[in-house]
Structure 1
Amino acid sequence: MTQDTLSETEYDAITDAAAQWCMRLHAAECTDQERRAFEQWRDAHPLHAFEYEAMLEIWEVAEHLPRPETAVDVAPRQPPRSWRQYAVVAGLCTLALPLAAYAGWNLGWVPDSYQHYAATDTVRQVTLSDGSQLELNLNTELTFSNYKDERRVTLKKGEAFFSVSHDTQHPFVVRAGEGRIRVTGTRFNVWMYQDQVRVNLIEGSVLVSSNTALPGDGLRLGPSMQARYKHGDYMPQISQTYPNDTALAWRSGKLVLDNLTLNEALPLINRYLNTPLMLADSNTGLIRVGGIYNIKELNNLAGSLPKVLPVYLTRNKEGNPVINPIPQQPQKN
């Protein structure tokens, strides 16, 4: 089962299974055997883990719903022990949810729509419920929630290009790492690897904050500007981009390394790898690399590095390939 062959029915089946597992794992009588079965299901496909994480977000949102004051305690003395009984309990709960959900929407607590997307081994194009167009790079996961006071995307990992539907009364906010990008309607790209985030603005304007806990909306970007931030940054770093900038080459299936140091190149490369490359030491990171690579073939890059750079590969105890410099021979006089 691969990302580009899943039908809508298969997606729905995964979502339903994720909802059942979320409900079951939160039950007090959930057994160790059931938890092991869940782990096997979760690890069987990347989308299983992603859909389950999405269900956890919905579960957390539901905990904020106000409880009806007239609710009657109808909990049985013995907890339900079958999926059928759980379905009945869930059905009864839905009778009280519409009013609570409406109150939660008006208070800005609860979204009226929630979407979650993942792209694994192929670039994926999606349309959000507000009409915004997104293009997801390989190994990308994100969610979209439509609240009364804002449209919110959470980029969990990877990279996405946004063409945001204009709505001045309903800002569009992307949360990535510890920061956020706030817009009303524009075109921009967000790249994220571990705690590093890079924002490239193509059209319109955005406000970029490196930490949502800090006051204010951040720094404003204009077209052909870039913002970078990472964990602990008080403010994002702003720079100008140029017509030959290659940050969006992924949309054509390419990764362009323009004479970068390995320190600069590895986050761009590792974003695509099953097992990230490591550097033997700080001096190794100063070696420069260039070239144009197919993003679907980057897992083969490690083996080719010794052919183009003065390096050799070893493996650390975790199994990661480590890039080591070949010692330079002293020149003879």
Structure 2
Amino acid sequence: MTQDTLSEAEYDAITDAAAHWCMRLHAADCTDDERRAFKQWHEAHPLHAFEYEAMLEIWDVAEHLPRPESTVVAPIRQASRSWRQYAVAAGVCALALPLAAYTGWNLGWLPDSYQHFTATDNVRQVTLSDGSQLELNLNTDLTFSNYKDERRVTLKKGEAFFTVSHDTSHPFVVRAGEGRIRVTGTRFNVWKYEDQVRVNLIEGSVLVTSNSALPGDGLRLGPAMQARYKQGDYMPQISQTYPGDPSLAWRSGKLVLDNLALNDALPLINRYLDKPLMLADSSTGSIRVGGIYNIKELNNLANTLPRVLPVYLTRNKEGNPVINPIPQKPPKS
């Protein structure tokens, strides 16, 4: 295999290898030796990395395919494969064959369009294939798939402001963490960090559930309302927002901390950081912090905290900055 020109057979072999590695790295029994072998394969040729990234996007689409319940499939190569591994194979075939893709669209199994967006160092505005407008905050990663019965966004990480094209017959669903947000046409913001999700509604209405596996569409939000949930929550927590709420300050390049305890402030800060800030102990989390910060300069925030708070910084073995409280001197008797 030359570096400059590849035959059709060589391209096919790379695609097959990318599909194999995609399935193996997602398998529960993937070994350290296999991960090392994948790393060597991934770095051996630029096309390997390109084809693997393309296969990951197919994997994301396959996540939404229905799980087969009664279909019996003969074993191929391995004794057993998960339904999702077969979905990847089905997705590859369906995306490659127009007739299969058309059938998959009519059954609601496959999208007729798929988009992947990221924003790293700058806020980014994008338009989805349905005409909806999105604004992506820094360090955001999401995908959009247009299915026959609904439009689906998966927010992998970060934050996005949505202005959704109105279509009552074609609901718009955002998957974030274990929950989902269901709308037909509205304006709202979704923030996700690790397993925490926060939804702010600006206009219209949305239905929010904290666990997509539960029956029903969840709780309804009206304008100026917020929903929060995290992994394991049975129901989202609903609250009213107030005029001047700082949740959307990121759209102006700012992070506003309104006298928050560090326990609440760190998730808002850490999603912007290369190395997240850690707390030395639970009592440190009760220290309060405020201020307005430029979201592009938050990596410098750790060094400024000891100037404004009674804390000092150390680093743990992973290199993360750790916030430690300065012991208070006992009052003189």
TM class by smaller structure: 0.7 to 0.9
Q: In the TM superposition, what whole-angstrom CA distance separates every residue of 1:11-43 from its partner, at most 9, and x where no partner exists?
A: xxxxxxxx9966423359x9976642415889x
How do 1:148-297 and structure 2 match up within 5 A? 148-297=148-297
Query: Following the alignment from structure 1 to structure 2, what is the Cα–Cα distance between the partners of residues 231 and 96?
Result: 36
Q: Match of 1:12? A: none
SS of the residue 2:282 aligns to: coil
Stretch deviating more after TM superposition (263-272 or 52-61):
52-61
Task: Decide whether aligned partners of structure 1 residues 240 and 34 sit closer, same or farther in structure 2, where only a CA change above 3 A counts.
Answer: closer
Give CA-to-partner distance per residue, 1:196-253, whole Å, 9 cap, x none.
Answer: 0000000000000000000000000000000000010000000000111000000000
Counterpart residue number, 1:25 = 18
Change in Cα spacing, 1:281 to 1:252, as seen in structure 2 (3 Å) is same
Q: CA deviation at 1:316?
A: 1.1
Change (3 A) 1:222 1:50: farther
TM-score for both structures, normalised by structure 2: 0.79
Counterpart CA distance in 2 for 1:322 and 1:123 is 28
CA contact (8 A) 2:18 2:55 kept: no
Provide the rounded CA distance (Å) in 2 between the counterparts of 1:96 and 1:37. Answer: 24
Distance 1:205 1:20, change over 3 A: farther
SS at match of 1:174: strand
Report percent identity of matched pairs. Answer: 75
Q: 1:128 to 1:237 in 2, by over 3 A?
A: same
For 2:13 and 2:137, the matched residues in 1 are separated by 29
Cα distance in 1, alignment partners of residues 220 and 115 from structure 2: 28
Q: Which runs of 5+ in 1 are unaligned?
A: 1-18, 66-92
**Residue 313 of structure 1 corresponds to which residue in structure 2?**
313
Residue type of the alignment partner of 2:40: R
| Counterpart amino acid of residue 19 in structure 2 | H
Cα distance between partner residues in 2 of 1:154 and 1:320 = 29
| More displaced 10-residue stretch of structure 1: 96-105 or 196-205 | 96-105
Could you tell me how far 1:166 is from its partner in structure 2? 0.1
Which residue identity is paired with 2:273? L
Q: 1:292 to 1:324 in 2, by over 3 A?
A: same
Could you give the per-residue CA deviations for residues 138-194 of structure 1, whole angstroms, max 9, x where no partner exists? 000000000000000000000000000000000000000000000000000000000
Contact kept in structure 2, 1:204 and 1:223, CA below 8 Å: yes
* Mapping for residues 117-156 of structure 1, pairs under 5 Å: 117-156=117-156
What is the CA distance between 1:307 and its match in structure 2?
0.5
Contact in 1 for aligned 2:65/2:109 (Cα 8 Å)? no
Correspondence 1:36 to 2:40: yes
Paired residues, what number? 285
- Runs (5+) with no aligned partner, structure 2: 1-11, 25-33, 69-92
CA distance in 1, matches of 2:58, 2:95: 20
What is the identity, as a one-letter code, of the residue corresponding to 2:18? Answer: L
CA distance in 2, matches of 1:304, 1:168: 49
Q: Is the 8 A contact 1:126 1:135 kept in 2?
A: yes
C-alpha displacement at 1:53, in angstroms?
A: 3.2
1:332/1:186 CA distance change after superposition, 3 Å: same
